[in-house]
Structure 1
Amino acid sequence: MFPDDMPYSKSQYKKCAVIGNGGIIKNSKCGKEIDSADFVFRCNIPPINDKYSADVGTKTDLVTINPSIITERFQKLEKWRRPFFQVLQNYENSSVVLPAFYNTRNTDYLLNVQRFWAVQGVRAKRLSSGLMLVTAALEMCEEVHLYGFWAFPMNPSGIFITHHYYDNVKPRPGFHAMPHEIFNFIHMHTRGIINLHTGSCM
């Protein structure tokens, strides 16, 4: 998945945390638990400042940035370079993957990942960054813990939650198959392949 010159290899890490941006992580107090992982993945440069760190932690070893983030949140960097720079400062010790996963050197791998998840029932125009990071974590880590992954308006206790932990902006429809991804994560959790955290860490 990663270019040969990146310093990651299969099962190099004992415990990894992959952090989704779902509202299910809000008020979870999982920050310390997340930061205790050996390697932490995050998607799309989410906020990890003091307002959110108790829930989501701050440690980040790899963070992705999708092209749509550059286009929509930072107006293609035509006028908004300083805000982009300020956001990146929160990730100064992290590897930043941009654009996320769509490097021609990775094409064969991406096609294999797409085929694998299609067999599992995840058929979408594009796999989500979160699913790609989970795939990478399964290759790199002995233990994979997921936080902030959910695709439904209510948590398992029936309480309404926001779409993201930092806002309630819905994604553009038709790109990802998020419910199918989450159902796969739940199934993998029940089989002991991953650890899906959907509640409080206190």
Structure 2
Amino acid sequence: MSLKTAKTWCFRLIAVVLFFVSYYCSHVFLQSYGGISKSPPTPSKSLCGGWLKQKKWESLNFNLDCRTCAVIGNGFSIKNSSLGGIINEYDVVIRLNDAPVRGYEDDVGNKTTMRLFYPESASYNPSMHNDPATLMVLVPFKQQDLSWLKEILYDEKRVRKGFWKPPPQIWLGSTSRIRVLDPHFLHGTASSLLQIPLHPKRKQKPVHPTTGVLAVFVALNYCDVVHIAGFGYPASKNQKHPIHYYGYDTMKSMKDSYHDLTHEAEALKKLEDSGAIMYLHPHS
């Protein structure tokens, strides 16, 4: 074989090898990120084995090899579930608004890593149903929410206008445990997860994400495994059916809310079907 012929075949073989290498790499990359995955991964600790492990919680010392998170909703569906012990085993437990823990430990556990709330849903004494180290994360739905926090922190004159329900005028929580949720997460929940307009038209009724679905979106951004419980509303058309595992609020109280509950249920179903989240209990 002449030197010229050998060089020609060498270049051809290199091209073929490069083609197969690039095909293999792209195939592995797409599988890793779900592009051509045949089935969604099972939500468990084994899920973390092949995923990128970023230090997303570095300032909070949450750098675990596999960060498991439980988002606990306030729905009636968690009542009599006896999930308390299981919930306490998660690395991060996220709770919502002023949902109580004391007296309901058997069903909802008593561990609280962080609690998302807004002024109207705040408790004047967070220590009643939270741990000393619980992060109290304010969700600023409107400008008045930040003003309320400023007035509380600096003991300024309280302004009560602009709230659909009077928020606490006294707050006994530790100011060092307060955080403010980046508006990016609220916008992302609305635009990406729920696909609802951020700026509705003049005659269009404004719709806001619930704190629950917002918490799920936050967890998906920071956790390797996301399990949820206490989500969903009763399928019954009985307007007197309770909606929470505590208190006396009924379906009637949700009639004029600014939430699209049906749309949120569909969004959670898609997340469940894709393997992004998993319910801890049977649900409708």
Q: What is the TM-score with the length of structure 1 in the denominator?
A: 0.73
Question: Alignment RMSD, CA only?
Answer: 3.2
Higher alpha-carbon Rg = 2
Letter in 2 for 1:134: V
- Give ranges in structure 2 of 5+ residues lacking alignment: 1-56, 147-179, 201-205
1:166 pairs with 246, 271, 277, which one?
Answer: 246
Q: Is residue 2:275 matched to residue 1:192?
A: yes
Q: How does 1:29-178 map to 2 (within 5 A)?
A: 29-49=82-102, 51-70=103-122, 84-85=124-125, 87-91=126-130, 92-98=132-138, 100-102=139-141, 106-119=182-195, 125-154=207-236, 162-170=242-250, 171-172=253-254, 173-178=256-261
TM-score by structure 2 length? 0.54
Offset from partner CA, 1:120-176 (integer Å, 9 cap, x none)? 89x96211111111011101111100000012244xxxxx96300002314452311
Identity over aligned residues, as a percent? 26
Which one has more relative contact order, counting CA pairs under 8 Å at least 6 apart? 1
Deviation at residue 9 of structure 1 after TM alignment: 8.2
The secondary structure found in structure 2 opposite 1:189 is: helix
AA at the equivalent of 1:20 = G
Whether the 8 Å contact between 2:77 and 2:231 is mirrored in structure 1 is yes
**Matches of 2:181 and 2:233 in 1, distance apart?**
31
- CA distance in 2 between partners of 1:105 and 1:131 (Å): 14
Secondary structure of 2:232's counterpart equals: coil
Structure 1 residues 166 and 128, CA gap change in structure 2 (3 angstroms): same
Q: Which residue of 2 aligns with 1:157?
A: none
Sort the Cα spacing of 1:8 and 1:185 in 2 relative to 1 into closer, same or farther, 3 A: farther
State how far apart, in whole Å, the 2-side matches of 1:12 and 1:136 are. Answer: 19
- Stretches (4+) displaced over 4 A: 8-13, 101-105
Letter of the structure 2 residue corresponding to residue 181 of structure 1: E
Structure 1 distance, partners of 2:101, 2:71, is 14
Equivalent-residue separation in structure 1 for 2:264 and 2:101 (angstroms): 24
Deviations 1:51-84 (A, max 9, x none): 21000000000012222224xxx7xxxxxxxxx2
